[in-house]
Chain A
Amino acid sequence: MPTELSRREFSWVLGGPQGGGINASAEIYAKALSRGGLHVFANIEFHSNIMGKHSYYRVTAAPVPVHSHVDEIHMLVALDQESLFGDAPERKHYPSHTGHVHQVARGGGVIYDADLKIDPGQFGRDDINLYPIPYFEVLEEALKEVGKGGQSRKYIVMRNTVALGASIGISGYDEELLFEAIRNEFTGRKADAAEMNVAAVRAAAAYARSHFNAKPERRLTPVPPEQRKHRMLIKGFQAVGIAKLKAGLGMQTYYPISPATDESVYLEQKGPQYQCTVVQCEDEISSINMAIGAVHMGVRAATSTAGPGFALMSEGFGFAAITEAPGPVVFLWQRGGPSTGLPTRTEQADLQFALHPAHGDFPHIVVAPGDIDESFVDSFESFNWADRYQMPVVVLLEKFLASSMFTNDGIDMSKLKIDRGLIYQPQEPDGDGYRRHALTADGISPRAVPGTPGAIFSTTSDEHDPEGHITEGIENRIAMMRKRMAKLETAAREIPASSKFTLHGPRRADLTLVGWGATKGAILDAIGELEADGRTVNFLQIRLMRPFPADAVAGILRGARLTVLIENNYSAQLGALIAEQTGVALDHHVLKYDGRPFSRNEIVEGVRAALSEQKKEVMVSHA
């Protein structure tokens, strides 16, 4: 049964070769929609490749909130033939995809290059509208308008804009909003380019209107100006980057790796004005150790990486833990594993890795935010936790969140406060009694900032005494292990429940969905459709993975009538954690490990299949 969202949303896909400029065009389009008062969710799929391979940008917009995409496409805008039909003709073996025509909704539209001279029969669809547009000719027309006639070859990348303009012309959106978004994108020295692109949109929209009468069934109109809300259009890496600056980050270290690099590059651009430094290192071992050196000196430091880099950080992680470093905070942007895996695709398969990042027993915190707002808040709080509990923290994120764009009404920062934890202040500058690892009831020893007279300490990756010197004494070992692990109990006590988990929906429901991380958006959007099946549904979202809120989660799950776990991985890693921590085994698992994020349909159909077929485990992949 359709929900308000499924009735009113508009799903638009721009596909083309990598390096062909689809990102810029799709983001301009997304901005035009957002400025028209619509809610927007946009996500990109691309290969680990610079030029040529197929990539596509999906923009989903609706007058009501939307955080996920659907399988169906209402308007497909193709820059090349591969975007229509896939790469089977070029790849004899194992074609990587079959194009997007088969995903176009009945009554939907396809815009493509008339120069491809495709026989309409090849589409195999008599239920969709075809809009062949001569990209090159229209571009030439537009360039003439701005006095650059005969230069189409030079500006061939603007075919994107032609395609975008045709799509606006056909689906009938406010062109002025698009012009504004274009001018907003091309400023200063690029202002000329803005006018060229505006001309291209005009020419393409005019061409489309004059050549085609048939309109696609689903179209989009802006919200009336007086009802428009001023919203941001923000990606996960930006939310995290801004949160880090707000949290007082002094040093970010990194080694380039997909999909974590965007965040570090963003900080390289924006950091200096906030007196934040960014150091590009020779590898991730260096990244984490440099950050550890900085946090021991009293600076807030972080490093960002993906699975392969996190693997190299293992020994540094344990080093930070045993020396009770106040951090660092490690931002782990998950991608498809194992090994190099799927570098540019998404997955949630590093949860158990983040929980067990190094050898030995040691305390650390793992938090997994589920959306833009939570990424901001959790990133911010992680620095407080690192300082307070003097342990490394992992913020577990996903490629999907890093590169997806969401409209956002503004992040509530009113409750966020910087807390540096207990800092040792010597009574006298010549004092000699400081113990960096003093044994205390809650495990927390006041930390000194090196450079302070009277607070000299040493510490070591070897087991050590309260003064930080090496010892293998038995009593000391037991006391130190207990002291370090006690901090985890302190953290579990002090971190508020609101940071640990959220039960979305009613306290009691016929069906309880369980998940974590960035599947949150698709799950929340799917609840409406699942409820339309005639049952009440709630959603338990786990955020704090260590220390795990075992009692509260056990309470909720033991009282649940029917549970379905939803994870973007092969082995149901949260399910394993829940079983380990609570003894509760969830009834059904809906899993997806094709490297792509869940569509709303995959959630709905996966849950339905699990329940109707009484299957313990259902794998979904709507290619």
Chain B
Amino acid sequence: MPEAAAAAPKKFVLQQYKTEVHVDWCPGCGDFGILSSIQQALYQLQIPPYKIAMISGIGCSGKTPHYIDTYGLHTLHGRALPVATGAKLANNQLTVVAVGGDGDGYGIGAGYFVNSGRRNVDMTYIVFNNGVYGLTKGQASPTLPKGLKTKSMPEASIQEGVNPIALALGAGYTWIGRGYALDVKNLVSLIVQAINHKGTSFLDIFQTCPVYNDLRTKEWYAGEDIGRARIRRLEADSTWDPVVKDPTNIDEMVEKKTRALRASYETQDSLAVGVFYSVDLPTYDEQLALKVPALKEHPLVDLPLYQRDVDPLFAELA
């Protein structure tokens, strides 16, 4: 990496995190709130744009990297996490943020969602969760609750919706949060925390799809039908403390996970957002560096590869 060629540190302006590419999401899409929050978070963190890799799956959310002026890989449906993992392990000096939809992450990519949790590579995974497959015109996604029928579905869903927070707790994610696309201020703060976390941070975001999900609308989240907001901030409860203080203490870990699990299973009339769980555990990258100590100082991509002497390996076979 031509680190020496990098200009002296300077203040990056918000504009530097935006591209001129036309954003082709539908008017009023919740994705706009998420895009803006990611841009603002990166700006707040002042991470040089060339030190960031945005990696996405397929679907409306998959287009996000095109709108953020950093290195970007818009990959395959459900495969953002493996690509992001490879990218981070190749260059541990990059800030790697994977984004995708709920179908992408909890449906076709479910295996990678689980295994990325247990791997704990130092990166962030953001899921745009709107309950429908938007880009294929509104089929039920894995998070759509059973019995719901959005306007583009011929029949109500007869499958239970998955609980991403519960799944993430079981998978072993070391930072688990949830936000709401239309509360940008809170979302920026959550994304900043997620990126700052060492290990894989997972942020599920309630996102409105005004075209295909006519049930989980802005008005529904605002609770216009029940007379109070459905979104509830976890931290509003003064006893809420999602951070495991002693990662070697299994009791504390289980207690915090149990509480997070309970919060994730509140009724559809009370949807918790905020940090559900956080623990400091060794990352996969750190453990790889135990095997290849040079990785502590240099990213894999900078390690020398031209002068490897393999004669000792041949000698073993003589």
Interface residues of chain A, those whose CB is within 8 Å of chain B, are 230-234, 238, 242, 245-251, 253, 270, 272, 274-277, 279, 281-283, 285-287, 289-301, 315-316, 319, 323, 410-411, 418, 425, 429-430, 449-462, 468-470
Q: Is the CB of B111 within 8 A of A470?
A: no
Q: Is the CB of B317 within 8 A of A460?
A: no
- Distance in angstroms from A494 CB to nearest chain B CB is 21
Stretch binding the partner chain, chosen from B45-53, B187-195, B210-218:
B45-53
Stretch binding the partner chain, chosen from B27-35, B71-79, B225-233, B240-248:
B71-79
B168-194 toward A: CB 8 Å interface, digit per residue (1/0)? 000000000000000000000000000
Q: Which of B93-150 contact A (CB under 8 A)?
A: 93-94, 111-112, 114-115
Residue numbers in B under 8 Å from A277 (CB-CB): 89, 288, 291-292, 295, 300
Residue numbers in B under 8 Å from A462 (CB-CB): 74
Given A251-B90, A301-B86: A319 in contact with B291 (beta carbons within 8 A): no
Q: Which of B268-299 contact A (CB under 8 A)?
A: 288, 291-292, 294-295, 299
A-B contact pairs, 6 of them (CB 8 A): A248-B306, A250-B301, A286-B82, A291-B86, A293-B55, A451-B1
Residue numbers in A under 8 Å from B294 (CB-CB): 275
Q: Is the CB of A297 within 8 A of B74?
A: no
- Distance in angstroms from A308 CB to nearest chain B CB is 16
Q: Is the CB of B75 within 8 A of A319?
A: yes
A283 to B317 Cα, complex, angstroms: 32
Q: Is the CB of B292 within 8 A of A275?
A: yes
Q: Is the CB of B71 within 8 A of A458?
A: yes
Residue numbers in B under 8 Å from A247 (CB-CB): 305
A287 to B83 Cα, complex, angstroms: 9
B21 interface contact, C-beta 8 A:
yes
Q: Is the CB of B5 within 8 A of A429?
A: yes
Q: Is the CB of B72 within 8 A of A459?
A: yes
Query: Chain B interface: which size bin?
Result: 35 or more
Query: Which of B53, B54, B82: most chain A CB closer than 10 A?
Result: B82
Q: Is the CB of B90 within 8 A of A298?
A: yes
A10 to B91 Cα, complex, angstroms: 53
A217 to B245 Cα, complex, angstroms: 77
Residue numbers in B under 8 Å from A233 (CB-CB): 317-318
Residue numbers in B under 8 Å from A231 (CB-CB): 318
Q: Is the CB of B308 within 8 A of A285?
A: no
Q: Is the CB of A454 within 8 A of B50?
A: yes
Residue numbers in B under 8 Å from A276 (CB-CB): 292
Interface residues of chain B, those whose CB is within 8 Å of chain A, are 1-2, 5-7, 21, 48-51, 53-55, 58, 63, 65-66, 69-76, 79, 82-91, 93-94, 111-112, 114-115, 288, 291-292, 294-295, 299-301, 303-306, 308, 310, 313-314, 317-318
A270 to B308 Cα, complex, angstroms: 12
Q: Is the CB of A232 within 8 A of B58?
A: no
User: Which B residue sits closest to A276, measured CB to CB?
Assistant: B292
Q: Is the CB of A298 within 8 A of B91?
A: yes
Residue numbers in A under 8 Å from B79 (CB-CB): 285-286, 289, 315-316, 319
- Distance in angstroms from A321 CB to nearest chain B CB is 12
Residue from B48, B295, B305, B310 in contact with A242 in the complex, judged by beta carbons closer than 8 Å = B310
* 6 further interface pairs, Cβ-Cβ under 8 Å (given A277-B300, A285-B82, A461-B76): A275-B304, A292-B83, A301-B86, A450-B71, A452-B5, A460-B73
A430 to B10 Cα, complex, angstroms: 12
User: Which A residue sits closest to B285, measured CB to CB?
Assistant: A277
Q: Is the CB of B90 within 8 A of A301?
A: yes
Residue from B6, B73, B87, B310 in contact with A323 in the complex, judged by beta carbons closer than 8 Å = B73
A451 to B91 Cα, complex, angstroms: 8
Q: Is the CB of B305 within 8 A of A461?
A: no
A459 to B76 Cα, complex, angstroms: 12
- Distance in angstroms from A53 CB to nearest chain B CB is 29
Given A410-B314, A458-B65: A451 in contact with B94 (beta carbons within 8 A): yes
Pairs of residues from A and B, 9 with the lowest C-beta to C-beta distance, nearest first:
A293-B86, A248-B305, A458-B72, A460-B74, A290-B86, A297-B90, A289-B82, A293-B83, A282-B115
Residue from B76, B303, B318 in contact with A315 in the complex, judged by beta carbons closer than 8 Å = B76
Q: Is the CB of A461 within 8 A of B50?
A: no
A458 to B49 Cα, complex, angstroms: 12
Q: Is the CB of A319 within 8 A of B308?
A: no
Given A272-B291, A453-B7: A316 in contact with B76 (beta carbons within 8 A): yes
- Distance in angstroms from A66 CB to nearest chain B CB is 18
Given A298-B301, A453-B50: A319 in contact with B76 (beta carbons within 8 A): yes
Q: Is the CB of A293 within 8 A of B66?
A: no
Residue from A272, A297, A430, A468 in contact with B91 in the complex, judged by beta carbons closer than 8 Å = A297
Residue from A289, A425, A456, A468 in contact with B83 in the complex, judged by beta carbons closer than 8 Å = A289
A279 to B71 Cα, complex, angstroms: 24
- Distance in angstroms from B238 CB to nearest chain A CB is 40
A295 to B87 Cα, complex, angstroms: 8
User: Which A residue sits closest to B108, measured CB to CB?
Assistant: A285
Given A294-B86, A316-B76, A470-B66: A242 in contact with B313 (beta carbons within 8 A): yes
Q: Is the CB of A450 within 8 A of B310?
A: no
Residue numbers in B under 8 Å from A470 (CB-CB): 63, 66, 74
Residue from A230, A245, A286, A297 in contact with B301 in the complex, judged by beta carbons closer than 8 Å = A297
Given A230-B318, A248-B306, A275-B294: A451 in contact with B50 (beta carbons within 8 A): yes
Residue from B2, B54, B90, B93 in contact with A294 in the complex, judged by beta carbons closer than 8 Å = B90
A461 to B111 Cα, complex, angstroms: 21
User: Which B residue sits closest to A281, measured CB to CB?
Assistant: B82
Given A245-B313, A293-B86: A461 in contact with B74 (beta carbons within 8 A): yes
- Distance in angstroms from A153 CB to nearest chain B CB is 34
Q: Is the CB of A299 within 8 A of B300?
A: yes
Residue from B53, B75, B308 in contact with A461 in the complex, judged by beta carbons closer than 8 Å = B75
Given A245-B308, A298-B91: A453 in contact with B6 (beta carbons within 8 A): yes
Query: Which of A232, A272, A456: most chain B CB closer than 10 A?
Result: A456
Q: Is the CB of A286 within 8 A of B72?
A: no
Q: Is the CB of A286 within 8 A of B115?
A: yes
A418 to B70 Cα, complex, angstroms: 29
Residue numbers in A under 8 Å from B2 (CB-CB): 425, 452-453
- Distance in angstroms from A355 CB to nearest chain B CB is 22
User: Which A residue sits closest to B56, measured CB to CB?
Assistant: A460
Residue numbers in B under 8 Å from A298 (CB-CB): 90-91, 301
